[in-house]
Structure 1
Amino acid sequence: MKKIIIAFFIFISTSVFSQKIDDVFKTMPNSVLPGLSESNRTMFLVDTGKTVIPYSLGKIEKLAYTPDFLKIKTSDIGTTQIKLLPLINDTKIICVIKTVCGNACDSRIQFYSTDWKELDSNALLPDISPESFFDSSQKNSDNYKFAVSLPDIYPVSAEFENGSNSLTLKLDLTKYLSSEQLAEIKPFIKNETKTLKWNNTSFN
């Protein structure tokens, strides 16, 4: 079933010719980044010397820009990453990561075809759960069960490091929990970060 879904993604991508970050950014729906007009987007991309531009909801800042990757700061606590990922037939899909950093950084990951039809992230991204970061060999101990139940959410940030196709996930608990809670949880954390590789069909 997953292969059928991926084949469908490839089909809908081949019908669209926009294959550079400039093209998809200019045609991006307002719902992805509200308040940013087409003229704002054009100015943002064309003027390479300008990294900050005003728009109706404040200002945005260009943090990184390559032919297939754009990272922008949308507020004091928010960033958006837009990445073109290659498929096996030399077309691409779009990955958008919106991250908000309060007491911790938490990311939302979405996928689109290059004409901005939303795709099923479950077929492209493995399940990201607390168990991904914890030592599962200890899961039957009472202390483990108590520790993992302490946070009400598990904030995980996602980053395309240096604009590459590798996605780095980080369990961000340091500022979110008290020192006492962290002391309970730390012994059971196997890795605070993990890296997912893009294989031209999905992340794994």
Structure 2
Amino acid sequence: MKRMLFGLCLALMPITMMAQQLHKMWVNMPTSVAGSLERSVRQELLDLKEMKKTAVIEGLLGEESRIDTLTNDFLLANLSKVSTLQMKMLPAANGDSLLCLVQTFMGPTPESVISFYSSDWKTLSMPEMQLDVELQQPSDMSLDDFNKLQAQFDPKLLSFTLSPSNNELVVTLSPVFVSEVEKSNMKALVLQRKFKWNGKTFN
């Protein structure tokens, strides 16, 4: 029984350490990432979420910041009505861990920026990634209709969603503007791709 408990404790140690690392990085987030969200506010939001309370704080200008999701290696926060932040601790090939950060800005359609950091917030070089969604013409769609739909994706706006439960990234292609008629045709298009983290990159 004692051996079982000892083995369980050993198995849980990396998970606990990763959670502590994520929490520390959230609190110590640099201003270039956190914007106007002060350190004390980030700590308070984290404390509220860990106590399983509603983690929402109203800022000086009336905007709300909140932590929506918190796991051992993932955090999703709404910094304002127009921006969200996702943090995901990922295992590195050298046995260490790194932070994948996704910042999404809500214009007419969402657009994301992805970046990587060490545990002390040093910027890491971007791995080689082809995070894109190429539109394919459905067999039952005319070329004319397909070309009209393609025009709605210029410029190409991509949004990224990190998984809270595994090391996957979903890339979604968002149209600039879609009419009600085009919405039904767009259901035939594949607008998402899923990528898995292999210790070095998403592929």
State the TM-score, normalizing by the size of structure 2.
0.73
Q: 8 Å contact 1:86–1:200 — kept in the other structure?
A: yes
Give yes or no for the alignment of 1:54 onto 2:53. no
2:199 corresponds in structure 1 to: 200
Alignment of 1:79-90 (within 5 A): 79-90=84-95
Distance (whole Å) between structure 2 residues aligned to residue 19 and residue 180 of structure 1: 49
Distance in 2 of aligned mates of 1:59 and 1:24? 21
Structure with greater contact order relative to length (CA < 8 Å, sep ≥ 6): 1
- Asked if structure 1 preserves the Cα contact closer than 8 Å seen for 2:74 and 2:87, the reply is yes
Indicate conservation of the 8 Å contact 2:37/2:79, yes or no.
no
Alignment of 1:152-171 (within 5 A): 152-171=154-173
Aligned-partner SS, 2:32 = coil
The whole-number CA distance in structure 2 between the counterparts of 1:136 and 1:115 is: 45
Residue 11 of structure 1 is matched in structure 2 by: none
In the superposition, the TM-score normalised over structure 1's length comes to 0.73
Q: Work out the CA distance in 1 between the residues paired with 2:43 and 2:196.
A: 31
2:38 aligned residue: 37
Q: CA 1:194–1:127 in 2, change beyond 3 Å: closer, same or farther?
A: closer
The CA deviation string for residues 151-173 of structure 1, in whole angstroms up to 9 with x for no partner, is 43222221113343111111222
Kindly state the Cα deviation for residue 31 of structure 1 after the two structures are TM-superposed.
Answer: 0.7
Deviation at 1:197, TM superposition (A): 0.2
Q: Residue 66 of structure 1 is aligned with which of 71, 81, 96?
A: 71
The answer to whether the Cα contact below 8 Å between 1:150 and 1:181 also exists between their aligned partners in 2 is: no
The letter for the 2-side match of 1:170 is T
* Structure 2 gaps, min length 5: 1-17
Percent of pairs with identical residues: 27
What is the rounded CA distance, in whole Å, between the counterparts of 1:18 and 1:61 in structure 2?
18
Alignment RMSD, CA only?
A: 3.0
Structure-2 residue corresponding to 1:126: 130
Measure, in 2, the Cα distance between the counterparts of 1:180 and 1:196.
31
Name segments (4+ residues, structure 1) moved above 4 Å: 141-147, 179-187
Letter in 2 for 1:162: P
1:76 aligns with 2:78: no
| Alpha-carbon distance, 1:93 to partner | 1.2
